[in-house]
Structure 1
Amino acid sequence: MDTAIRAELPRDLVLVGAGHAHVQVLRRWMMKPVPSVRLTLVLDCPEAVYSGMVPGFVAGDYEARELEIDAVPLARRARARIVLARAVGVDPEARRVAVEGRAPLSYDFASLDVGSSVRGLDLPGVVEHALVTRPIRSLVGALEARLAQLPGGDAMPNVCVVGGGAAGVELCFALDARLRAQGRAFRLTLVCDTVEVLPGHGQRFVQRARREAESRGVRVVCRTRVERVGKGELFVEGEREPFPADLVLWATGAAPVALGLDSRLPRNAAGFVRVRDTLEVEGCPGLFAAGDCAGISGFDWVPKAGVYAVREGPVLDANLRRALAGRALRRYRPQTDFLALLNLGDRRALGEKRGCVAAGPAVWRLKDWIDRRFMRRFQVLDAASAPARDFPSAESMGMESMDCGGCAAKLGATSLDAALARLGTPPADESVLVGLARPDDSAALALSGGAVLLATIDGFRAFCDDPWLVGRVAAVNALGDVFAKGGRPRHALALVTVPDESARAGEETLYQVLAGVRAALDPLGVSLVGGHTTRGPELFVGLAVTGDLPAGGDLLSLDGARPGDVLVLTRPLGSGVLLAADMQGLARGAWVRDLHASLVRSNQCAAEVARSSGATASTDVSGFGLAGHLAELLRASGVSARVRLEALAPFPGALELLARGLRSSYHEQNESRRRAIDFAPTASGPRVALLFDPQTAGGLLLALPPERVDAALAALHEAGDPEAVRIGEVTARSEEGFVFSAV
């Protein structure tokens, strides 16, 4: 089938969300990709929570991590581009997905699998006082804290579950099991507006669940509509007195999410995206939807249950491939009978199949086996964040280590120094205040009237396959050279090498890059005034930036550090190894999300703090790593330093990856200067490696007068650099010839 893909490639397939159907598409794409089709996954949260195991988590049978599918490494294994942002709309006519905070994504084909919300969130007090079960991640994250807030001692807390479907009943039993296991006394009530609990299930199944509730003392109140939720109270229709409720869990059934409601998409009577039995959205060629967000025409009886989303996955994958090949689509037929498994807590479950009902530990073990088998297919990393033993390795899939992008793609410092030395001394020029004869982050040029022009150029090959993110980070990185000198960037020129691809694809890549560049420049008042484009084998983005010094401001040079000054680093380290791991599908999504949040932030606020705090020297930390850039500052100032390794702040995940031996491709070049550092005998392990990790869009390294450090750190933390930290002190030049010591 793949060889039949038509000629106007490459084409873009965009998956929005990582629900039960989409993770199967990613797994199948990982095993059998379609040539020349660019796959993109849009996520508002890196981890997808498997709903089938949530009651077991509530009951205390599972840890939170066991419920999670980390979609980022899974997507990387599928060689998918990842956009960590919330999709806010779909324009099916223009074939674009609107994404919060960034340029829209164009698609040839797209699919939505974004789950559902819960009904009744508009009722007074629900959002403020109830623990809502969707999004599921919010429930998992908040449950422990809410249970800890229940009255203790001799008090008997009242817990209410609102919703009589499978989700509400399971949560009721799971909460009962958890609280009893903790030895707590409590009153548990289930309230629903249906005639009976578990609508749609067989009578024997319902009766068995009813007996289970009665045996545990769970009060079940049907045909009762909740009007509002107060603090410690649940107000219901027809009752003058509210139900006492120290904790309310809201599990009232599925409701459409905003993405479907806010887009120009057809919807069924319940508000869900209306799709044909092929899972293609009605009247929207090339757009598909699956899982809870979709309603299949002619099958309104299908409940919003995970089993249906799971069964839709293979059909969705097949139809996306068929659509790309221009072939007829398969029809999906929801099963009318399936094995229903209801978690009763206490490691017991209730099962139903074709009218046969059974309950007990054996049924729970069956459910546990089914759930764990499903999860193993998608969990790339294990609990220790190492490659999962049961998952295909990156090497077995041909994902060999590649050269890194970003600032980890620099020419080595030794080669750079040697090349510049061979050029000889440049001609004298009185207008050049800082240049090749006195290297620094930015050149400084004297203008008439005493003004100073700062000028720099920086660029790199793409560190990921998201051109918008590459463009924004490239701009942030280039601006950092001007900010490091205490300057104000004013104008920028862009140089972009667009990969050799079709004219339409090249236009989209350039648009995304420049939109990312503008996203960094515009809020700072920096004008993009022009640039140049070329075609080449891979994406490269560079910027030339000019700026000036604020009125009365002095240049924050490299050469002003003095013995006794304190060294402050404004941001964490480890971006090089994290970007390398992400390329291979070895980085957790949460790590990547936190890293990206740092990469897109400028050093403007840190530069303002540096100026106001009287910094004696400043530089930004980028491709040469902390060790390399600190060495430049110390040599220029004619001093040495003492660095405390334990003080270095790593990005989440960086130390774990370094400890496992993972390195950026540029790490070895940086570490070649290790002999210039005096390491204490106890200095070893990943924190030593952190010194040499090449940084992209890193923070500022400042030398500050000791009496100004505490105030400067407080200002940095308040300005948005909470990880800013004192890492050492400037000392007199080492008599042994070491650039600095590390202890």
Structure 2
Amino acid sequence: MSKLSPADLDRYIFSRTGAANEDLVVGPGYGEDAAAIATDEGTMVVSTDPISLAAERIGTLGVAIASNDVAACGGVPEWLVSTILLPEPDVDLIDDITAQLDDEASRLGISIVGGHTETVAGLARPLLSLTCMGPTDRYVPTSGAEPGDVVILTKGAGIEATAVLATDFRADLTERGVEPGTIDRATGFFDDISVLPEAAVLGSVATAMHDPTEGGVLNGLVELACASAVRLDVSRGDVPVRPETQTLCDAMAVDPLRVLGSGGMLASVPEAAAEQTLSALRAEGIDASIVATVDEPAEEDDIGVFTDGQRFTGGVRDDMYDLWD
């Protein structure tokens, strides 16, 4: 599994969007987390996301990921529509998933207002598709990073991946010598996957925000750079990785910068506002670090992410995918 290339997205997706509507402020675009629709009372942010690979906490993750995309655009997530597709009728499984959906939505103050549930022949595992909506007074795109900005990452790389590894692959980790206490602490990372708290701090100052998901922080940086048509210079050593994340990723032979990244928020801010922004995040108990500088590309070949002597411009395949094959 991997994302389509920017060229394929342009050709097959972004060029085929149905009827034009004058109320659409921001529509489909490479790297954009959500759409923006003008209403009589302001702007509505709308995003949709599927999830299928995290079996143990699929409902919890689904709510967090869908609402993160709205928050990453400066929105306040308020409403959720949930589609649940199952391999076969299973009341116990439905009970688990809907309980998780209810618990996480209640914790985040989001109302589940509709959806659909059915079984689908040939499906190997449960699949959720969640649409989240919420208002904003200031829409923040992925494409707004400007030369002279710096890019901040909250919490760290691979937060979501760490929690999923700790649950879906606990037996493998134990077999490979990871201490039970480390796995237990990593399981607790599920509580850190929502980025609503940092979005509330960053939304008023950020020129761009982005929720890194598949492909991890590296792919999130690529999407931000390409959407903004800028150059990002990144030093791997500047990207925070929690000890539990490093331990679990090492055990499973995956790169912390290339695994499911929800839980960390990427935001570009003017360099002059960087220290004040970091202080504001830390005052809310949110760890944050500067991980990249935003530069004007000298030419088109300068657009993208430059790190470890490499240039990245396309979708970065998530290392986690191979673990389910």
| TM-score bucket of the superposed structures, by smaller chain | 0.7 to 0.9
Does residue 495 (structure 1) correspond to residue 83 (structure 2)? The answer is yes
Rounded to whole Å, the distance in 1 between the matches of 2:29 and 2:156 is 31
The one-letter amino acid of 2:183's match is V
In structure 1, the partner of 2:20 is 428
Q: 1:737 aligns with which of 302, 307, 319?
A: 302
Q: Per-residue CA shift, 1:35-64, capped at 9, x if unaligned? A: xxxxxxxxxxxxxxxxxxxxxxxxxxxxxx
Rounded to whole Å, the distance in 2 between the matches of 1:481 and 1:561 is 17
The one-letter amino acid of 2:258's match is F
In structure 1, the partner of 2:143 is 559
1:714 deviates by 2.4
Rounded to whole Å, the distance in 2 between the matches of 1:610 and 1:539 is 34
TM-score by length of 1: 0.37
The one-letter amino acid of 1:731's match is D
Does residue 713 (structure 1) correspond to residue 278 (structure 2)? The answer is yes
Q: 1:437 to 1:742 in 2, by over 3 A?
A: closer
Q: 1:585 aligns with which of 162, 172, 182?
A: 172
Does residue 694 (structure 1) correspond to residue 260 (structure 2)? The answer is yes
Q: Per-residue CA shift, 1:476-499, capped at 9, x if unaligned? A: 111000000010111111111234
* Secondary structure of the structure 1 residue equivalent to 2:147: coil
Does residue 412 (structure 1) correspond to residue 10 (structure 2)? The answer is no
Q: 1:590 to 1:580 in 2, by over 3 A?
A: same
Map 1:238-637 → 2, pairs under 5 A = 411-414=2-5, 418=8, 421-423=11-13, 424-426=15-17, 427-436=19-28, 440-447=32-39, 449=40, 451-464=42-55, 466=56, 469-501=57-89, 506-536=90-120, 537-549=124-136, 553-574=137-158, 575-576=160-161, 579-580=164-165, 583=169, 584-586=171-173, 588=178, 589-601=180-192, 602-612=194-204, 614-637=205-228
Q: 1:455 to 1:728 in 2, by over 3 A?
A: same
* Secondary structure of the structure 1 residue equivalent to 2:302: coil
* Secondary structure of the structure 2 residue equivalent to 1:721: coil
1:607 deviates by 0.5
In structure 2, the partner of 1:128 is none
Does residue 726 (structure 1) correspond to residue 290 (structure 2)? The answer is yes
The one-letter amino acid of 1:421's match is R
Q: 1:593 to 1:417 in 2, by over 3 A?
A: farther
The one-letter amino acid of 2:27's match is G
**Is the contact between residue 620 and residue 700 of structure 1 (CA under 8 Å) also seen in structure 2?**
yes
1:437 deviates by 5.2
* Secondary structure of the structure 2 residue equivalent to 1:600: helix
Q: 1:586 to 1:619 in 2, by over 3 A?
A: same
* Secondary structure of the structure 1 residue equivalent to 2:257: helix
1:611 deviates by 2.0
**Is the contact between residue 87 and residue 119 of structure 2 (CA under 8 Å) also seen in structure 1?**
yes
Aligned length: 294
Structure 2 gaps, min length 5: 309-325
Rounded to whole Å, the distance in 1 between the matches of 2:229 and 2:303 is 12
Q: 1:661 to 1:420 in 2, by over 3 A?
A: same
Q: 1:529 to 1:698 in 2, by over 3 A?
A: same
Q: 1:721 to 1:707 in 2, by over 3 A?
A: same
Rounded to whole Å, the distance in 2 between the matches of 1:738 and 1:655 is 29
* Secondary structure of the structure 2 residue equivalent to 1:436: coil
**Is the contact between residue 162 and residue 189 of structure 2 (CA under 8 Å) also seen in structure 1?**
no
Q: 1:432 to 1:439 in 2, by over 3 A?
A: farther
Q: Which structure exhibits the higher relative contact order, with contacts defined as CA atoms closer than 8 Å and separated by 6 or more residues? A: 2
Q: Per-residue CA shift, 1:13-52, capped at 9, x if unaligned? A: xxxxxxxxxxxxxxxxxxxxxxxxxxxxxxxxxxxxxxxx
1:659 deviates by 4.6
The one-letter amino acid of 1:694's match is L
Q: Per-residue CA shift, 1:255-310, capped at 9, x if unaligned? A: xxxxxxxxxxxxxxxxxxxxxxxxxxxxxxxxxxxxxxxxxxxxxxxxxxxxxxxx
In structure 2, the partner of 1:136 is none
Rounded to whole Å, the distance in 1 between the matches of 2:139 and 2:228 is 14
Rounded to whole Å, the distance in 2 between the matches of 1:433 and 1:513 is 34
**Is the contact between residue 25 and residue 38 of structure 2 (CA under 8 Å) also seen in structure 1?**
yes
**Is the contact between residue 74 and residue 140 of structure 2 (CA under 8 Å) also seen in structure 1?**
yes
Q: Per-residue CA shift, 1:676-729, capped at 9, x if unaligned? A: xxxxxxxxxxxxx3332232x33210001222222222222232323x211121
**Is the contact between residue 642 and residue 742 of structure 1 (CA under 8 Å) also seen in structure 2?**
yes
Structure 1 gaps, min length 5: 1-409, 664-688
The one-letter amino acid of 1:555's match is Y
**Is the contact between residue 472 and residue 600 of structure 1 (CA under 8 Å) also seen in structure 2?**
no
Rounded to whole Å, the distance in 2 between the matches of 1:488 and 1:578 is 25
1:578 deviates by 6.6
Q: Per-residue CA shift, 1:553-582, capped at 9, x if unaligned? A: 311111211112111101222343774575
In structure 2, the partner of 1:648 is 239
Rounded to whole Å, the distance in 1 between the matches of 2:110 and 2:214 is 24
Structure 1 vs Structure 2 CA RMSD: 2.5
Q: Per-residue CA shift, 1:65-103, capped at 9, x if unaligned? A: xxxxxxxxxxxxxxxxxxxxxxxxxxxxxxxxxxxxxxx
* Secondary structure of the structure 2 residue equivalent to 1:454: strand
**Is the contact between residue 578 and residue 657 of structure 1 (CA under 8 Å) also seen in structure 2?**
no
**Is the contact between residue 85 and residue 127 of structure 2 (CA under 8 Å) also seen in structure 1?**
yes
The one-letter amino acid of 2:133's match is T
Rounded to whole Å, the distance in 1 between the matches of 2:224 and 2:28 is 15
Rounded to whole Å, the distance in 2 between the matches of 1:738 and 1:436 is 20
1:637 deviates by 1.6
Rounded to whole Å, the distance in 2 between the matches of 1:627 and 1:729 is 14
* Secondary structure of the structure 1 residue equivalent to 2:203: helix
